[in-house]
């Protein structure tokens, strides 16, 4: 761990007092607040400019801490033993008397919960002495930060620097609240690994039929238009490569989807600058972490809900 204990203690104190702290996880940096404090959770929504109907993931440091918050059935217990700590978020029934803020779960009777595979994240949760609600530490609609320097310092009272995130895409969200497990968001645990454990999953991550609001299209959009499955860039476009071949930047010259996931958000950020007319992305295979990468890229390429922030407004007639 690259952060001293005094800093962790101070960060824990800020969180216990209702302030926000940005912290590293193995997936992306999170904007953390006390998940049991409505005011802290409201501050997260306010800082992100996120519509409050979008529920947040609650982060715990130990499996026993999860059992105080949600109902853990044998199926959930098996997945926790196999994949925690790690990039798997489980949506489970809220436990009666659960101290988690109803605002954090957007009023739902379920809670999304995960135990991150990052020593700083777990030490922080322990220091705070409560579970932490934490979306990715970016303004709503922006690209998730995978390095401390990508976190906007205005969002939090403190940003803990844990270096680059190992996985680079958000956690896989699996809904275990119904009879049949359902994939709500592809992410850091490949679908294939979950299906080996559970059999075929329901797939509800289709952005045209969102079940959870985080499935909205254009959720991960850079400012420039994004074009997928590009073999060659059009004039003015930056090519984001995958596999061998010339490109402005390359997600993985060797064609490794895990390496590509770790590079995805940092490279989208690096190419999202004036001087290019758009970002063209080479095809990425739909296996392993490729599923999560393509999900994020399709959202980045989807028609925008709002005009991108750093482009000048259109002239009125």
Q: Tell me whether residue 102 or residue 249 sits nearer to ligand TXA (CB atom).
A: 102
Using CB under 6 A, which of 91, 100, 143, 176 touches ligand TXA?
91
CA–CA gap between residue 175 and residue 293 (Å, rounded): 20
> Residue 134 interacts with ligand TXA (CB under 6 A)?
yes
DSSP class of residue 110 equals E
- At 122, list the tokens: 């777990």
The CB-based long-range contact list for 142-145 (8 Å cut-off, 24+ gap) reads 142/220, 142/221, 142/309, 143/220, 143/221, 143/222, 143/265, 143/268, 143/269, 143/272, 143/300, 144/28, 144/29, 144/169, 144/170, 144/220, 144/265, 145/22, 145/28, 145/29, 145/265
> What does 176 interact with, of ligand TXA, Mg ion, none (CB < 5 to 8 A by kind)?
none
User: Which residues, numbered 136-195, are part of the site for Mg ion (CB under 5 A)?
Assistant: 136
Which does residue 132 touch among Mg ion, ligand TXA, none (CB within 5 to 8 A, set by kind)? Answer: none
The answer to whether 135 contacts ligand TXA (rule: CB under 6 A) is: yes
Please report whether residue 212 would count as binding Mg ion according to CB under 5 A. Answer: no
Q: Rounded distance, CA 174 to CA 186, Å?
A: 9
State the nearest-atom distance from the C-beta of 28 to ligand TXA, in Å.
5
Which residues is 34 bridged to in the sheet?
A: 132
What string of DSSP letters covers 164-206? S-SS-SPPEEEE-SSSS-EEEE--SS-HHHHHHHHSSPEE---
Among 11, 28, 155, 266, binds ligand TXA (CB under 6 A): 28
Residue 105 lies near ligand TXA (rule: CB under 6 A): yes
Instruction: Evaluate whether 108 touches 55 at the Cβ level (below 8 Å).
Output: yes
> Least distance to Mg ion from the beta carbon of 18, Å?
22
Largest CA distance in the chain: 62
Segment contacting ligand TXA by CB under 6 A, of 75-83, 87-95, 241-249, 251-259:
87-95
> Minimum Å distance from CB 46 to Mg ion?
16
By CB under 6 A, residue 110 contacts ligand TXA: yes
Per-residue tokens: 161? 């620097």
Residue 91 binding target from Mg ion, ligand TXA, none, CB below 5 to 8 Å by type: ligand TXA
Residue 108 or 198 with smaller CB distance to ligand TXA: 108
We find the least distance from the C-beta atom of residue 69 to ligand TXA, in angstroms, to be: 12
Which string of x and - marks every residue 165-204 that binds ligand TXA (by CB under 6 A)? -----xx-x----------xx-------------------
Span from 75-83, 92-100, 134-142, 259-267 in contact with Mg ion (CB under 5 A): 134-142
Q: Report d(CA 266, CA 140) in Å as an integer.
A: 17
List the 202-203 sheet strands across, edge first: 158-159, 21-23, 30-34, 132-133, 57-59, 110-114, 88-93, 172-175, 182-185, 202-203
Kindly indicate which of the ranges 4-12, 23-31, 255-263, 301-309 contains the residues binding ligand TXA, using the contact rule CB under 6 A. Answer: 23-31
CA distance 144 to 159: 15
Closest separation in Å from C-beta 168 to ligand TXA: 10
27 binds, among ligand TXA, Mg ion, none (CB under 5 to 8 A by kind): ligand TXA
Residues that bind ligand TXA (CB under 6 A): 25, 27-28, 30, 54-57, 87, 89, 91, 105, 108, 110-112, 116, 134-136, 170-171, 173, 184-185, 212-214
């Amino acid at each position: 761990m690259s952060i001293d204990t005094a800093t962790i203690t101070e960060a824990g104190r800020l969180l216990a007092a209702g302030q926000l702290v940005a912290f590293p996880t193995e997936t992306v940096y999170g904007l953390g607040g006390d998940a049991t404090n409505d005011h802290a959770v409201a501050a997260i929504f306010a800082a992100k400019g996120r519509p409050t109907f979008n529920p947040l993931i609650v982060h715990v440091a130990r499996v026993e801490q999860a059992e105080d918050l949600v109902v853990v059935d044998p199926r959930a217990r098996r997945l926790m033993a196999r994949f925690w700590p790690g990039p798997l978020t489980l949506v489970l029934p809220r436990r009666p008397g659960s101290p988690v803020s109803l605002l954090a779960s957007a009023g739902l009777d379920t809670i999304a919960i995960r135990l991150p595979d990052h020593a700083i994240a777990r030490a922080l949760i322990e220091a705070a002495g409560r579970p932490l609600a934490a979306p990715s530490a970016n303004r709503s609609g922006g690209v998730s930060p995978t390095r401390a320097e990508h976190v906007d310092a205005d969002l939090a009272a403190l940003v803990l620097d844990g270096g680059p995130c190992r996985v680079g895409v958000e956690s896989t969200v699996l809904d275990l609240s119904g009879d049949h497990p359902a994939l709500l968001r592809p992410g850091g645990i490949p679908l294939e690994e979950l299906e080996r454990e559970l059999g075929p999953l329901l797939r509800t991550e289709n952005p045209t039929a969102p079940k959870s609001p985080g499935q909205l299209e254009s959720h991960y959009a850079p400012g420039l238009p994004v074009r997928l499955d590009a073999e060659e860039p059009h004039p003015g476009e930056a090519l984001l490569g995958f596999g061998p071949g010339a490109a402005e930047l390359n997600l993985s010259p060797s064609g490794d989807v895990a390496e590509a996931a770790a590079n995805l958000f940092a490279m989208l950020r690096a190419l999202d600058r004036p001087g290019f007319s758009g970002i063209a992305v080479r095809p990425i295979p739909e296996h392993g972490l490729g599923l999560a990468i393509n999900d994020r890229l399709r959202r980045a390429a989807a028609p925008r809900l709002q005009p991108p922030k750093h482009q000048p407004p259109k002239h009125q007639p």
